[in-house]
C-alpha cells in the first residue's frame, strides 16, 4: 500500500530521473553539435577567456616568458616547414628517377642506357627512404604512402629495361630477337631499340599523334572535333574496360577515319602480371573492340611501357604490332600546362610518335603520384600543335600509315 509520504518520495524520484534524462540528452545534443559544427561561440569565448586567464597568470608570475600557446605555434610551424621540405625532396627524387628512366629508354647504346637506369634506381631508393620517414600524424603521411605504393612498380620497370639493355649487349646491333619476324614483314616492334631502326624507314615529314586511355566521355569528343577541323588523322590506344562503357564514342573515332589501337583491358603493369593474365588483357580487348566497331586493331601499346618478352609474343599471336612513343608530352602530369605540352610536342624531327591522353588513369590503384585527373590542357594545346606542324609542311598520319612500307 502506498502511503501519502511514499507518493511524495516516488514523485520526487520521477522528477529527478526526468531531469537527469533531459540533462543527458541536452549533453548529447551539445556534443553532436560541437562534433558536426564548430564549437558554439560562447564555448569559444569561455576557452579564450580561460587561455587568457592562464597566460595572464603566467605573465603575472614570470613576465619575461612569452605565453606558452604562442611558443607552441612557432614550433608547429617549424615542424610543418621541415615536413614540407622533406616531402618536396622525396618527390623530387622520384621525379628524377622518372625522368632518367624515360631518357634511358630512348638510348641506342646499352652502356649509356644502363648508366642512366642505375642512376634512376639510386634516386628511387632515396625517394623511398625519405617517404618511409613520415609518421602517421604527419599531414604528408598519406601522400608519402602513395609514393611508397608506387615505387615498386617503377623499380620493376627499371629492371625490365636493364634486363633488356643487358641482353642487348650479347647481341650485335639490330639482332633483337624479333628482327627476323620484322624482316618477314609480320611483326613490327617499335618498343625496344628497333624503334630507331624502323623509324628511319618511315615516311618523311610525317608525325603520328596518339591518344591513350580513352574512350572517355569528358575529352574524346572535344579532341575529335579539333582533329576534324584540321582534317587530321590520329591513333587512339583504347582501354577495353572503357570501350565496354563508351562504345558509341569508339564508333565515332573509327567512323571519322582514325586508327584504333589496343591498350589492354584493365591498364595493368603488363610486366608484373602472369602470361595468362597478359593474354586475357590483350585478347579480351581485341574482342570488345571488334564487337563495337567490327574491326580489330593492328597495334598494341603497353600501359606505362611495362612489358616483357611474353607481352611481345602474345601481341604477335593476337596479330598486333607493338609501339610505345618517341615523345611524351607529359600531358598526364599535374604540373603540365598548355604551354609545356605544346613545347614538348613540337619537335620537328621527322616520324615522331607523340604521346597524349584523351582519358585519365582508368585504374585508381595504379594512379601515379604526379598524375593529373584532368585532360583539359591536352584539349587546349591541340589546335596550336596541329597548326605549327602543318605550317612546317608536316603530314599527320596514323601509325599504320607511317609504317606502311612494311
Ligand atoms: Zn595508358
Q: Distance between CA atoms of 169 and 147, rounded to whole angstroms?
A: 33
Q: How far is the CA of 212 from the centre of ligand 1 (A)?
A: 5
Identify the pLDDT of residue 257: 97
Identify the pLDDT of residue 370: 85
Question: What is the mean pLDDT for each group of 10 consecutive residues in the chain (406 residues)?
Answer: 46 42 38 36 43 44 49 72 95 94 84 94 97 94 93 91 76 45 58 62 83 97 98 98 98 98 96 95 98 96 89 90 89 94 90 92 80 94 97 93 68
Cell numbers for 382, please give them: 591541340
Annotated catalytic residues are 212, 357
Q: How far is the CA of 268 from the centre of ligand 1 (A)?
A: 9
Q: How far is the CA of 402 from the centre of ligand 1 (A)?
A: 21
CATH 3.20.20.370 region(s) of the chain?
174-402
Q: Distance between CA atoms of 368 and 358, rounded to whole angstroms?
A: 17
Identify the pLDDT of residue 116: 97
Find residue 237's DSSP bridge partners: 212, 261
Q: Is 234 exposed, middle or buried (0-12, 13-18, 19+ CB in 10 A)?
A: buried
- Map residue 87 onto helix, strand or coil: helix
CATH of domain 174-402: 3.20.20.370
Q: Distance between CA atoms of 216 and 83, rounded to whole angstroms?
A: 37
Q: Distance between CA atoms of 238 and 240, rounded to whole angstroms?
A: 6
Identify the pLDDT of residue 29: 34
Phi, psi of 307 (to 5 degrees): -165, 165
- Give me the residue label for grid cell 621525379: 95
- Give me the residue label for grid cell 641506342: 108
Q: Distance between CA atoms of 326 and 106, rounded to whole angstroms?
A: 8
- The CATH number corresponding to 71-169 among 1.10.3470, 1.20.58, 1.20.144, 3.10.310 equals 1.20.58
Q: How far is the CA of 214 from the centre of ligand 1 (A)?
A: 9
Q: Distance between CA atoms of 325 and 332, rounded to whole angstroms?
A: 14
CB 315 within 8 A of CB 283: no
CB 218 within 8 A of CB 375: yes
Neighbours of ion ligand 1 (CB under 5 A): 212-213, 303
CATH 1.20.58 region(s) of the chain?
71-169
Amino acid at each position: 500500500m502506498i502511503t501519502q509520504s511514499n507518493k511524495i518520495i516516488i514523485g520526487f524520484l520521477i522528477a529527478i530521473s526526468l531531469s537527469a534524462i533531459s540533462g543527458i540528452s541536452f549533453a548529447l545534443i551539445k556534443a553532436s553539435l560541437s562534433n558536426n559544427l564548430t564549437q558554439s561561440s560562447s564555448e569559444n569565448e569561455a576557452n579564450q577567456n580561460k587561455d587568457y586567464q592562464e597566460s595572464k597568470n603566467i605573465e603575472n608570475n614570470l613576465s619575461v616568458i612569452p605565453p606558452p600557446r604562442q611558443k607552441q605555434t612557432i614550433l608547429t610551424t617549424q615542424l610543418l616547414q621541415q615536413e614540407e621540405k622533406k616531402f618536396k625532396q622525396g618527390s623530387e627524387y622520384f621525379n628524377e628517377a622518372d625522368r632518367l628512366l624515360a631518357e634511358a629508354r630512348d638510348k641506342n647504346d646499352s652502356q649509356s642506357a644502363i648508366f642512366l637506369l642505375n642512376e634512376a634506381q639510386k634516386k628511387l631508393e632515396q625517394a623511398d627512404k625519405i617517404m618511409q620517414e613520415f609518421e602517421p600524424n604527419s599531414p604528408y603521411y598519406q601522400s608519402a604512402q602513395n609514393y611508397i605504393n608506387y615505387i615498386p612498380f617503377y623499380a620493376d620497370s627499371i629492371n625490365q629495361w636493364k634486363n633488356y639493355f643487358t641482353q642487348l649487349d650479347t647481341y650485335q646491333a639490330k639482332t633483337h630477337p624479333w628482327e627476323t619476324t620484322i624482316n618477314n614483314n609480320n611483326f613490327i616492334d617499335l618498343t625496344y631499340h628497333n624503334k630507331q631502326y624502323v623509324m628511319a624507314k618511315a615516311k618523311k615529314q610525317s608525325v603520328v599523334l596518339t591518344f591513350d586511355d580513352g574512350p572517355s566521355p569528358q575529352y574524346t569528343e572535344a579532341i575529335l572535333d579539333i582533329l576534324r577541323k584540321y582534317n587530321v588523322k590520329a591513333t587512339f590506344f583504347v582501354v577495353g574496360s572503357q570501350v565496354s562503357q563508351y562504345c558509341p564514342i569508339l564508333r565515332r573515332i573509327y567512323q571519322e577515319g582514325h586508327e584504333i589501337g589496343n591498350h589492354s583491358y584493365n591498364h595493368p603493369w603488363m610486366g608484373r602480371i602472369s602470361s595468362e593474365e597478359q593474354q586475357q588483357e590483350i585478347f579480351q580487348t581485341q574482342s570488345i573492340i571488334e564487337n563495337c566497331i567490327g574491326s580489330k586493331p593492328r597495334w598494341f601499346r603497353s600501359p606505362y611501357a611495362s612489358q616483357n618478352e611474353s607481352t611481345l609474343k602474345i601481341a604477335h599471336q593476337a596479330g598486333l604490332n607493338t609501339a610505345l612513343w618517341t615523345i611524351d608530352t607529359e600531358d598526364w602530369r599535374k604540373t603540365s600546362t598548355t604551354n609545356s605540352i605544346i613545347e614538348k610536342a613540337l619537335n620537328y624531327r621527322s616520324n615522331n610518335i607523340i604521346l597524349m591522353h584523351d582519358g585519365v588513369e582508368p585504374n585508381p590503384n595504379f594512379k601515379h603520384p604526379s598524375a593529373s585527373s584532368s585532360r583539359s590542357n591536352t584539349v587546349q594545346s591541340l589546335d596550336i600543335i596541329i597548326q605549327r606542324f602543318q605550317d612546317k609542311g608536316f603530314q599527320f598520319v596514323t601509325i599504320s600509315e607511317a609504317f606502311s612500307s612494311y
